[in-house]
Amino acid sequence: MRELARLLGMTPGFVTNWERGLRLPKPEDVGAVLAHCRVVGEDRRRIVEMARGAREQDWIATGGEEAYREWERTARAVFAWGPELVPPLLQTSAYAAAVCLQPRAVEEQRPAWRAARGRCVLVVGETALCKRIGSAEVMAEQVRQLASLVDAEEVDVRVVPAEREYQPGLGRAFTIFDFAGLPSIVHERLLTESASSSSPARVARYREAAETLLGLALPPRAANELLESVLRKLSVPDGRVETRRGEGTT
């Protein structure tokens, strides 16, 4: 940090405040940092554009899977809603691989919520449980993990049944990250990319949606009964997990 500050002609404390989020750097300062770090091309353009919009009250940044994972790890509290898919923080390695249609790296196989430092409240829609992602074995493993966490102390898992009355604005997955000493961020997954915003007004709207979802969610016993019902549909009488035609048997 001291060397970077020297190259930029600034004091180390000034640069440290950027790193800690206590001061917003100007776009030209961001460009200078990127130049010293040899960041060029589309990445440089995107980051400088983000810096230009960071002072706006309602800025939105798209993309950024690496940033999302860092937010998961460092947030003081996380609320996630998955209406169609299990939220990333709860996904098993096999489920995540089926969603992405590619294998996960070995170091990523640990459930993401275990790496999170803060309190996690994770809400899943019944539709996400009934939608076949990968094989029946993959879904059964995922549902079993959810069932094991419904009464867990370290993470709060809720299930919203499909029979609940539709609420406008709850059709898309979103995550709210709260940090110690930094603005909260709401992250929404779109069709081909994702978008994040630190706008207080936008975050507040999503908090209202989160409260609505918690009000719609089943109590723990009913949630476990629903999960057990899903598991029964995935299993044959002798306890083996059912497979799709053409996938073989277990």
Give pLDDT, residue 77: 92
Q: Does some domain include residue 119?
A: yes
Residue 208 has pLDDT above 70, yes or no: yes
Mean pLDDT, residues 211-217:
94
Give Cα separations from 111 to 3, 53, 142, 203 (angstroms): 37, 34, 11, 26
Contact 8/15 with Cβ under 8 angstroms? yes
* Long-range contacts (CB closer than 8 Å, 24 or more residues apart) made by 235-242: 235/140, 241/136, 241/137, 241/140, 242/136
**Do residues 80 and 121 share a domain?**
yes
Give pLDDT, residue 13: 80
Residue 109 has pLDDT above 50, yes or no: no
Contact 124/175 with Cβ under 8 angstroms? no
Q: What token pair was written down for 36?
A: 């010293």
**Do residues 81 and 203 share a domain?**
yes
Q: What token pair was written down for 50?
A: 């983000």
Give pLDDT, residue 25: 78
Q: Does some domain include residue 243?
A: no
Which amino acid, one-letter code, is at 3?
E
Residue 246 has pLDDT above 80, yes or no: no
Range of the domain at 25: 1-55
**Do residues 4 and 122 share a domain?**
no
pLDDT per residue as tens digits for the range 118-166: 688 999 999 999 888 999 999 999 999 999 988 888 789 999 998 877 6
For the domain that residue 69 is a member of, what is the CATH number? 3.30.870
Which amino acid, one-letter code, is at 138?
V
Q: How many CB atoms lie within 10 A of CB 61?
A: 19
Q: Which of 4-13, 95-104, 158-167, 212-221 has the lowest mean pLDDT?
A: 95-104
Number of domains in the chain: 2
**Do residues 147 and 165 share a domain?**
yes
Residue 3 has pLDDT above 70, yes or no: yes
**Do residues 78 and 39 share a domain?**
no
Max CA-CA distance within the chain?
72
**Do residues 229 and 118 share a domain?**
yes
pLDDT per residue as tens digits for the range 47-103: 777 676 665 555 556 556 777 888 888 888 999 999 999 998 889 989 988 988 554
Strand partners, 160: 125
The alpha helices in the chain, defined as continuous H runs, are 2-8, 12-19, 27-36, 41-53, 65-74, 93-100, 112-115, 126-130, 136-149, 200-216, 220-234
**Do residues 103 and 217 share a domain?**
yes
Q: Closest Cα partner for 81 from 182, 186, 222?
A: 186
Q: Is 204 exposed, middle or buried (0-12, 13-18, 19+ CB in 10 A)?
A: exposed
Q: Closest Cα partner for 224 from 163, 127, 149, 114?
A: 149
**Do residues 127 and 171 share a domain?**
yes
Q: Does some domain include residue 178?
A: yes
**Do residues 47 and 67 share a domain?**
no
Residue 181 has pLDDT above 50, yes or no: yes
Mean pLDDT, residues 209-221:
93
**Do residues 89 and 207 share a domain?**
yes
**Do residues 139 and 224 share a domain?**
yes
* Long-range contacts (CB closer than 8 Å, 24 or more residues apart) made by 29-32: 32/8
Q: Does some domain include residue 141?
A: yes
Average pLDDT, the chain: 79
**Do residues 95 and 203 share a domain?**
yes
Give pLDDT, residue 170: 80
Give pLDDT, residue 247: 42
Contact 73/201 with Cβ under 8 angstroms? no
105 pLDDT tier (thresholds 50, 70, 90): very low
Give pLDDT, residue 122: 93
Q: Does some domain include residue 245?
A: no
Cα–Cα distance measured from residue 231 to residue 221, given in angstroms and rounded to the nearest whole number: 15
Give pLDDT, residue 56: 56
Residue 222 has pLDDT above 60, yes or no: yes
* Long-range contacts (CB closer than 8 Å, 24 or more residues apart) made by 189-195: 190/62, 193/62, 193/63, 194/62, 194/63, 194/64, 194/65, 194/68, 195/60, 195/61, 195/62
